[in-house]
Amino acid sequence: MRTLTIGQNDAGQRLDKFLTKALPRMPKSLLYKSIRIKKIKVNRKRATPEQILSAGDELQLFLPDDLFDRTGDADTASELSRIRGDLPILYEDDNLILLDKRPGIAVHEDERGSADTLLTALRAYLFRRGEYDPDKEQSFAPSLCNRIDRNTGGIVIAAKNAATLRDMNERIRRRVMGKFYLAAVHGVPKAREATLSGYLKKDEIKKEVTVFEKNPPPGAKKIVTRYRVLAVSPDGKTSLLEVELLTGRTHQIRAHLAFIGHPLVGEGKYADNRTDRARGFSHQALSAYRLVFPPPQGDSLDYLSEKVFTVPRSSVWFLSLFPDIEL
């Protein structure tokens, strides 16, 4: 028998969700069967999969020893100790970090399989600081609360503990966080300010989306994108937009702006970017540049109420096209 004690970063989870993280080698079928036949107990009592765990609870696990083997886990102290490099921190406190991601860096491991990600750098940084030890955590690891494309720059939110992760994810789900983007687009929109509506259908195989103004096909999802023109380049060929996502779908900004005839500078998936690349623009001109915390929400993040965080001008490479604009 093994005994696991629930810590602060484990509390507040369903029993089955906790065990899925704490024992990743355990098949789901065995997990639920073990709970049912009382080979998994909480505080020596019969448990249920949906039971919510509290700090201090003890789990009695009558399971094979090989299920507890963590060998081969990607997050280990030895692996993190080898990772060096600076973390682009915009803001940090005891609970969360706001990272100023550079274009070209992946937030999570993607189909390229590179371990050189923002998430790995975050965990290595906190390991060096003594704020995260993967060998002592049972179900939690510092995590990113939002993600942006590899070739998009800007603010990424990271949680240091489970309570912050839960509360921030809930805020993002309810869309109470103000997330604003800067985008340099070809041409000048006729409407200097507008709210665009449509539908977006994702092709999982091609990893791209299609936008429809009306008559959406099955599986398409509603999208709403708001923009306003902040500046026009001296040659009149490029506009700087501030964009707010009222829905958050894959490639929404890139695809929606291309759909109305104003693709991002450097955009190669939803527009032809050969001319832009010849000018030296290797990434799409998009930056998640401002994050606005809402009024109090009754959670652990209320100490940041109505705070506004903005990346420095030097982080937004395409602002060189608009020399007079200030953030």
In this predicted model, which residue has the larger pLDDT, 75 or 202?
202
Domains and CATH numbers, the chain: 2-68 (3.10.290.10), 77-174 (3.30.2350.10), 178-321 (3.30.2350.10)
Write out pLDDT tens, residues 90-109: 999 999 999 999 999 999 87
Mean pLDDT of the chain: 93
pLDDT of amino acid 9 = 95
Q: With contact defined as beta carbons under 8 Å apart, do 94 and 160 qualify? A: yes
Nearest-angstrom CA–CA distance, 184 and 168: 29
Range picked from 79-88, 245-254, 304-313, 317-326 for highest mean pLDDT: 304-313
Nearest-angstrom CA–CA distance, 259 and 273: 15
pTM of the model as a whole: 0.89
Buried/exposed 42-67: b ≥16 CB within 10 Å, e otherwise? beeeebeeebebeeebebbbebeeeb
Phi, psi of 269 (to 5 degrees): -90, -40
Strands 153-159 and 286-292, sheet pairing: parallel
CB-based contacts of 123, cutoff 8 Å, min separation 6: 75, 80, 132, 134, 141, 142
Nearest-angstrom CA–CA distance, 100 and 287: 10
The confidence band for 71, taking pLDDT boundaries of 50, 70 and 90, is low
